[in-house]
Amino acid sequence: MQDHEMEQGMDMGSFEKKGKRFSRREVLVGGLAGAAAVALGVGTASSAGAAALRSGGSDLRRATRATRRASKAGQTITWGLSAYPTSFNPFENKGLTAGELTTATHRGLLAYDQHGNLVPALATSVTAVGDLRYEIQLRSGVQFHNGASLTSRDVAFTLDAMKEPSLAASLSDYAEEIQSISIESDDTLVLTLTAPDASLPSYLGTPYMPIISQKSDLASGNFIGCGPFTVTSSEEGASITCTAFDAYYKQGYPLAPAIHFETLAESASAVEALASGEVDIVDDLEWADFKSVQSNRNLRLLAHGGPFMYLVFNTKKEPCSSPQVRHAIGYAINRALVIADAFYGTGSPLLGPPMPPSSPYFNSGYANSWSYDASKTKDLLAKAGYPHGISVTLLSNAQYSYYTDIAVILESNLSAAGIDVSLDLPDWATQETDGISGDYDIAVMGSAGEVNDPSFLSLFLQGPPAFQRSFGFNSTQVNDLLAKGLRLSTVAERKPVYDQIQELMIEQAPIVPLIWRDQAYGARSNVSGFANLPGFLTFYSGYTLEQTSLV
């Protein structure tokens, strides 16, 4: 890993012109700190968070373990955040840590369980009636954090609010497709859509469509939810404390009295804090630390594949306004080197659109669309009108080391293909801001689909400015196909549509995929109930905080 080792010795100050690099050690604060109905049945409170005695051993050992469990019951969970959330707005998809806070404090009509199954939450059922209507039956006895009871009017208020541009809702398109809301009673309402959408229930289960009280003050950012915890204190950039909501709709939950989130922005220091017992769980564990966690009998590694790394572009200015240029860049990248140096040998190359091989919408014909061939990049650039190469600013960040590692590798790869690169490595928050405003030519990005439905591709292909997608990209052909895919219901009907979308993703290169990667949490062995959700849903693992406890 020569390139990686060399990068570790570089003076990172030269890369930090827009933001500060935070060390986990520096900011560690002390203390705890169809007519056919598609229906979801009534859910019951899960007992997955309850501890179970291990079999075997003497009665004395069992009694000792039971005593230890009892002594830890009811303890506050201390969580190491890889970055302080850049937004407390639950409707915005602002990355992993913001999503963790949202899943701790809010709930929507549906949710995902620890196995990745779509399950009831505030709704006991969401039933498709014909092609355009969904009937929603609400759970009785649900209270918001202000003590008010959940009614159909709160759901209508929320879905209407999501249409407001000022709310910056990531899934505003799904609210916009609701033509009308009919309130049948306090606990029953009917949504009528402008066009069929087979994917809507999947999105109702994401954290980005929470239901808030109609008493919420959107202008001030006072979003009144009904999740298992409430935010009781916060120190910007450092920590957030959430306390259990006594009136949470699942009786007996949450199991922990509180969760204390501490910002620990460097993976190695987070592992030290985890090993010493200063924190109980850390998120976004980096690949260099996998082995040290696995080798410590007091710790557990919770890792899943699903997320991927890719490049986005500013498509509003030259040279990356040219699809030929974007496509050419895909051949300049040594993805094997990215895996070896930035991800310590974990992951796999992603040479085509990011459709998981396990998906029925995967097409092997598109899976090897890019190879590592710098000479091909040069030839394609010349055909695009750039025979002498191009100059670009490459945006990544210095807060997450793998983002920095990827940027350094790409600088070398692109230079070998005749592309002059200027690195811009601020902190994560600044990268988000620059990504939204288009202050870059090329940017390194990591994400996952919001749902397992193939409509997840829309996150990367359409919508208002967002750091997860290329700035200014707008293809009428792609947009029309995405809309068509939502109107169809069976895999047989939908697959040809998503095949066309994937073909256009190669041709127009709105993103250039890099690699599939693992997403990992580290936890102490006495943490019970927490689960890393599978595949794309890994970023929703905070849903299991309600059943998490120390045993």
Enter the tokens of residue 237. 């950039």
Residue 137 dihedral angles phi and psi, to the nearest 5°: -105, 120
pLDDT at 489: 86
User: d(Cα 440, Cα 393) in Å, to the nearest integer?
Assistant: 6
CA-closest candidate to residue 432, choices 400, 384, 473, 386: 400
The tokens for 394 are 């490459």
**Residues sharing a CB contact under 8 Å with residue 144, sequence separation 6 or more, in sequence order:** 150, 154, 212, 213, 215, 224, 225, 226
How many CB atoms sit inside 10 A of residue 275's CB?
Answer: 16
- The pTM assigned to this predicted structure is 0.79
Residue 118 pairs in a beta bridge with 112
Which of 240, 233, 243, 232 is closest to 74 using CA atoms?
Answer: 243
C-alpha 293, offset from chain centre: 23
- Write down the architecture of domain 107-221 according to CATH: Alpha-Beta Complex (3.90)
CA distance 413 to 316: 24
**Residue-level pLDDT at 268:** 81
| CA–CA gap between residue 220 and residue 27 (Å, rounded) | 28
26 vs 19: CA distance, rounded Å: 16
What CATH class is the domain 2-25+306-518?
alpha beta
CA distance 170 to 166: 11
Q: What is the pLDDT of residues 159-214, one digit of tens each?
A: 999 999 999 999 999 999 999 999 999 999 999 999 999 899 999 999 999 999 99
pLDDT in tens, 42-81: 333 333 332 222 223 333 333 333 333 343 557 999 999 9
Q: For residue 518, count other CB atoms closer than 10 A to its CB.
A: 18
Q: What is the mean pLDDT of the chain?
A: 87
In this prediction, the residues of the chain whose per-residue pLDDT falls under 50 are 1-71
Res 53: pLDDT: 23
Residue (of 485, 478, 468) closest to 501 by Cα position: 478
Confidence (pLDDT) at 55: 29
In the chain, CATH 3.90.76.10 sits at: 107-221
Amino acid at 521: Y
pLDDT of residue 504: 98
Q: What's the Cα-to-Cα distance from 494 to each of 39, 194, 196, 352, 480, rounded to whole Å?
A: 21, 19, 13, 19, 13
Residue 73: the pLDDT is: 53
Under 8 Å between Cβ of 41 and 125: yes
pLDDT tens-digit readout, 398-439: 988 999 999 999 999 999 999 999 999 999 999 999 999 999
Q: Where in the chain is the domain with CATH 3.10.105.10?
A: 2-25+306-518
